Each structure stands twice: as structure tokens, then as C-alpha cells.
Amino acid sequence: MKSLLSKILPALLLVSLLGDCAWAQGRIATVDLRKLFDSYWKTKQADASLKERASDIEKDHKTMVEDWKEAKDEYQTLLADANNQALSIEERDKRKKAAEEKFKLIKDNEEAIAQYERQARTTLDEQRKRMRDKIVEEIRGVVKARATSAGYGTVFDTAAESSSGTPILLYSSNENDLTDSILAQLNAGAPAETPKAEEKPADKQDEKKKDKK
């Protein structure tokens, strides 16, 4: 009997362990990644940084455009003087030469502005992508840790869409949705000046209704 038990018990233990693993792998949770990303305080901080950078770029761009417009006005004046019969031939030739030089400057300015615009777009796009990728990676790390500790084998993103713009997850009861708890964890370390949680518009409306009652 003891010999038989010594053979059966390890087998039963193995079946039990395999069953637990299969159960854990079969458990499914959901999160709204868009909500996590948009409501994360680091995303708001990154957006503010991008807006500040874009504002600086816009100021520089505005200065370049103003210089270009000024050069165009000066060119038109020089061109008019070059054709002014009231001026001497020598003076008209002088103005004509100055107009040609100004025209070249205008073209150089136009090329510089176009190049600046292209570079600015590339710079902002790259900065935006770096920030987005870093934040998403951070969120995924928190989701993975929470799912692992809670025994979930798979976590679906309820906000995910296909290439045609249709929802990938067609239905979820949200019974095992981890969004709010993970968002609270993400925003737990938010700076004092950053709101840790946003009140939903629907909640505000409900409060107003309660007040009216």
C-alpha cells in the first residue's frame, strides 16, 4: 500500500499543479489602455512638454516669416525705384542691383523656412513617439505585474481597434477589468500639483441631479 501511495501521490500532485497552471493561464482580465494612457500624469506632463517645445518652434518660425515678409516689402520698393524714371540711370541701376540681391535673399529665406518646418515636424514627431513608447512600456509593466500577482494569464485591451477602425474586442462584461485600480497605482506617485484622478462628467451630472432632488 505504501508503495502504491508513493507512486500515486506525486502523480496527483503533478495533475494538481498542471491544473492550477492551466486555470491561471485561462483567466482573462481587461484594461482600457487609452484611458490609462490619457489619464496617466506622466502623459499630461509629456503633453505639456511637447506643447512648450511646439510653442518655441512656432515663435522662431514666426520670426523667420516676419523677416521674409520684410525682405519682400523691401524688394518691392527697390524694384519700383529701379523703374522710377525720376531717378538717374545710375541710381536706377544701383536700385536694380540691390533688388536682385534682395530677391536672392528672399529665395534663401523661403528655402530656410521650408527646411525649418520639415525639421520641426520631424523633431516633434520623434519626441512624441519616444514619450509615447516610454509611457506605454511603463503601463504594460504595471499591467503585467498586476496580472501576474492576481493570477491572470491574459489581459485584453478593450480600447484596441483593428486597421479598419472596428473594435477588436466585441464584448466584455468588465467583470475582471483592472483599469481603475491600475490607474490609481500609476497616479499614486503624481506630483502634488498634478490631479491624481479626474472626476467623470457623468459623476458631476449625477451630483447635480442629487442636489436638485
- Domain assignment of residue 202, yes or no: no
Residues 6+ apart with CB under 8 A from 53: 123, 124, 127
The residue type at 128: R
Residues 6+ apart with CB under 8 A from 194: 41, 44, 45, 187
Q: What is the reported pLDDT for 194?
A: 55
- Domain assignment of residue 154, yes or no: yes
Domain that holds residue 165: 25-191
Q: What is the reported pLDDT for 94?
A: 92
Number of other CB atoms surrounding residue 197 within 10 Å: 12
Q: For the chain, what is the domain count?
A: 1
Per-residue pLDDT of the chain (213 residues; tens, 9 = 90+): 444 334 443 443 333 333 444 444 569 999 999 999 999 999 999 999 999 999 999 999 999 999 999 999 999 999 998 888 888 889 989 999 999 999 999 999 999 999 999 999 999 999 999 999 999 999 999 999 999 999 999 999 999 999 999 999 999 888 999 999 999 999 998 988 754 444 444 444 444 544 544
| pTM, 2 dp | 0.69
Q: What angle do CA 149, 29, 171 make, to 5 degrees?
A: 180
CA distance 67 to 102: 12
- Domain assignment of residue 95, yes or no: yes
Distances (CA, A) of 102 to 42, 89, 91, 192: 48, 20, 16, 54
